[in-house]
Amino acid sequence: MNIIFLGAPGSGKGTVSQIAAREYNLQILSTGEILKNMAHENHPLGLRARDEYWGKGFLVPDEIMLPLLEEEISKTIYQKGLILDGFPRTIPQAEKLEEIIKIDPVINLLCSEELITKRILARMQCKKCNKPYGLNPRPPENRICRCGGEIYQRVDDTEETIKRRLNEYENKTLPLIKFYKERIITVDQDEKTTPESCFDDVKKALDSYLS
Ligand SMILES: [Zn+2]
């Protein structure tokens, strides 16, 4: 089973895909990690990707990324299945990916703009151990972490920047949802959703999709 998770920033995509990888014994394949590893191993394309593109803050073009991705996917650790992280982002990438590997299913983690905004604005963190808090789990009333550290509000986002990022995400993702339409599993979230309960919903949806 080779899966892609789609989900806006704040949808919990990262955490839920980690739980899914563990439960289904899938390997998470992140294009960012591939690039780092290939450069570290002095792979010629990996070095080019680093020195000409991501090392300078540019996106790595498909003609470099795709051969690296194909080479990585051919490794035996991915034979039981994988979760692709950070790829594809465009239709041409999705089309080329079809030639390398069969993606099925694509899990779309839905989350209303209102809830995402609430979640992101509620983000807090312990100063000492960096434990994250927010809507779930909420911080204790006295804002003191179990480790004794002080919990502070992370104010790196405003409603405006969140809205802009969500719009960008939606514009990029809608074409992908159309592209994969027969393979999409949609999982909705509400205020009570935790990463664990979200994974339970994913599991239920997956089971009925696969049966
Ligand atoms: Zn702490």
The pLDDT of 160-168, averaged and rounded, is 90
Distance 10 CA to ligand 1 centre (A): 22
Q: How far is Cα 106 from Cα 182, in angstroms, rounded to an integer?
A: 9
Pairing of strands 184-187, 151-153: unpaired
48: annotated active-site residue: no
- Look at residue 198 and tell me if it is in a domain: yes
**Catalytic: which of 48, 154, 183, 203?**
154
**Ligand 1 centroid to 122 CA: how many Å?**
17
Could you give the percent of the chain with pLDDT greater than 70?
Answer: 100
pLDDT bracket for residue 191 (50, 70, 90):
confident
Q: Give strand ranges (E) for the chain.
A: 2-7, 27-30, 82-85, 106-109, 124-126, 132-133, 151-153, 184-187
Q: Is 13 known to be catalytic?
A: yes
Q: Please tell me the predicted confidence (pLDDT) of residue 109.
A: 94
- Domain extent, residue 8, equals 2-26+80-210
Instruction: Give the pLDDT of residue 137.
Output: 80
**What global pTM score does this model have?**
0.82
pLDDT exceeds 80 at position 59: yes
- Please report whether residue 201 resides in a domain: yes
Examine residue 200 and state whether it is found in any structural domain, yes or no. yes
Asked if residue 68 has pLDDT above 90, the reply is yes
At CA 28, angle to CA 66 and CA 49, rounded to 5?
35
CA–CA gap between residue 197 and residue 16 (Å, rounded) = 9
CA of 120 to the centre of ligand 1 (A): 19
Q: How many domains does the chain have?
A: 1
Residue 49 lies in a domain: no
Helices (H) then strands (E): counts for the chain: 8, 8
**How, if at all, do strands 124-126 and 132-133 pair?**
antiparallel
pLDDT over threshold 80, residue 155: no
Name the residue among 19, 65, 32, 12 with its Cα closest to residue 203: 19
With tokens 């070095």, the residue in question is: 47
Nearest to 157 by CA among 8, 2, 1: 8
Whole-number pLDDT of residue 192: 87
Indicate if 138 belongs to the active site.
no
| Averaged pLDDT, 30-47 | 94
pLDDT at 81 over 90: yes
Q: Has residue 62 been placed in a domain?
A: no
- Tell me which of 89, 102, 138, 172 is the catalytic residue: 89
Cβ < 5 A residues, ion ligand 1: 126, 128-129, 131, 145, 147, 149
Q: Does residue 103 carry a pLDDT above 80?
A: yes
For residue 17, give the CATH number of its domain: 3.40.50.300
